[in-house]
Amino acid sequence: MKSYVLVEPGNIDCRELSSPVPAPGEVLIDIKAALTCGTDLKTYRRGHPKIPLPSPFGHEFSGTVAAVGDGVCDFSVGDAVMAVHTAPCGQCPDCLEGLENLCATLMETKVLGAFSEQILLPAHIVKQNLYPKPQQLSFEEAAFLEPLACVVYGDMVQPIIPGQSLLIIGAGPIGLLFLLLAKARGAGRVIVAGRRADRLQLARELGADEVIDVQSTDPLARIHELTAGRGVAQVIECTGVPQVWEDSVQMVRKGGRVLLFGGCASGTKVSFDTARLHYDQIRLDGAFHFTPEAVRRARELLVEGVLDVGPLISARRSLGCLEEVLELLLEGKGIKYALCPGGLS
């Protein structure tokens, strides 16, 4: 099978590897669609602390079952499936306290290599986070299961409340998924702030009531203008920029909530106005990764057609176009690309 390996930042190697043979409990997947994401792009550009290089590359995918190991009863060869690339151990102290997204072994047992013709899922992922893909859901849409699970988990940590005003900072794939979820949840006025005109236009098309181009407009001043100086009820920060983390607190009303979803660079520190947090009773929450429950809920949203994720796919390309689409994303062209190892039928 062909598999793309990130050798070092900016250097991807296509390798011909033997197809893995599933051990007991494991499932081998023929990948039909793999999506690019912000983590892939950052890793390609500068590496990633959780991904020692060289490493198989990519983690958002869907496909069909190519082979199953002994003891696998719920899936058969040829089944269309959707999955995520991690699952908790269920035994460490964090898992036992319900913090499965913080599982002690989660990152060490993750599976990378979606930019390949096949991917092998270990038994703990098969058991918890592998699902059938219904016919009405395309493989490209099914591959959104992982990023949507992250967004759904953010909503589990700090729920979007129907009727309340909401500011989403960042108009990339995650910010736009939060926008889709906010509209489905019945949020009140939804504002999206971002940098690129094409993404802000798409945000409008997906239901944003207001958009703010932060390159030409002071977002804090604009938020105060739109809310008569009060601020929004909730901010979801999706950029991972420390200054934006700090600014977010100034954009919520008294009693407001801020979800710090975008991850900042390692070693980054931020500071907040303690008087604002204390006397205005501002709530700050962080959210990382997802739990099996978030995966289950995300799948329901996709399968039931509650969210239309299709507009977030900029184009479909063959697997061999991986470096080309990563360079396009680095140039600011597109949102997510679907790479199809089986061709563009």
CATH, residue 180: 3.40.50.720
pLDDT at position 345, please?
55
Rounded to a whole number of angstroms, the distance between the first and last alpha carbons of the chain is: 20
Which residue type, as a one-letter code, is found at position 230?
R
Shared domain for 133 and 168, answered yes or no, is: no
> What's the whole-model pTM score?
0.96
Residue with tokens 């429950």: 293
> Residue 180 domain-assigned?
yes
User: Nearest 5°: phi and psi at 19?
Assistant: -65, 130
Instruction: State the total domains in the chain.
Output: 2
pLDDT in tens, 172-226: 999 999 999 999 999 999 999 999 999 999 999 999 999 999 999 999 999 999 9
Residue with tokens 């479909």: 316
Shared domain for 189 and 273, answered yes or no, is: yes
Query: Which residues constitute the domain of residue 39?
Result: 2-147+290-340
> Residue 154 domain-assigned?
no
Alpha helices in the chain (DSSP H): 38-46, 93-96, 123-129, 139-142, 145-157, 173-185, 197-205, 219-226, 242-248, 274-279, 292-303, 322-330
Shared domain for 108 and 124, answered yes or no, is: yes
Shared domain for 252 and 317, answered yes or no, is: no
Shared domain for 137 and 163, answered yes or no, is: no
Shared domain for 7 and 127, answered yes or no, is: yes
What is the Cα–Cα distance from 121 to 29, expressed in whole angstroms?
8
What is the Cα–Cα distance from 285 to 179, expressed in whole angstroms?
18
> Residue 231 domain-assigned?
yes
> Residue 81 domain-assigned?
yes
> Residue 153 domain-assigned?
no
Give the other-Cβ count within 10 Å of 120's Cβ. Answer: 21
Find out whether 154 and 287 touch, Cβ atoms under 8 Å: yes
Shared domain for 122 and 21, answered yes or no, is: yes
DSSP secondary structure letters along 208-243? -SEEEETTTS-HHHHHHHHTTTS-EEEEEE-S--HH
pLDDT tens for the chain, 345 residues: list them: 999 999 999 999 999 999 999 999 999 999 999 999 988 888 898 888 778 899 999 999 999 999 999 999 999 999 999 999 999 999 999 999 999 999 999 999 999 999 999 999 999 999 999 999 999 999 999 999 999 999 999 999 999 999 999 999 999 999 999 999 999 999 999 999 999 999 999 999 999 999 999 999 999 999 999 999 999 999 999 999 999 999 999 999 999 999 999 999 888 999 999 999 999 999 999 999 999 999 999 999 999 999 999 999 999 999 999 999 999 999 999 999 999 997 765
3-state secondary structure 98-142: CCHHHCCCCCCCCCCCCCECEEEECHHHHHHHEEECCCCCCHHHH
Region class of 25: left (phi > 0), else alpha (psi between -120 and 50), else beta = left
Shared domain for 208 and 266, answered yes or no, is: yes
> Residue 251 domain-assigned?
yes
Nearest to 60 by CA among 343, 313, 320, 239: 313
> Residue 152 domain-assigned?
no
Shared domain for 16 and 118, answered yes or no, is: yes
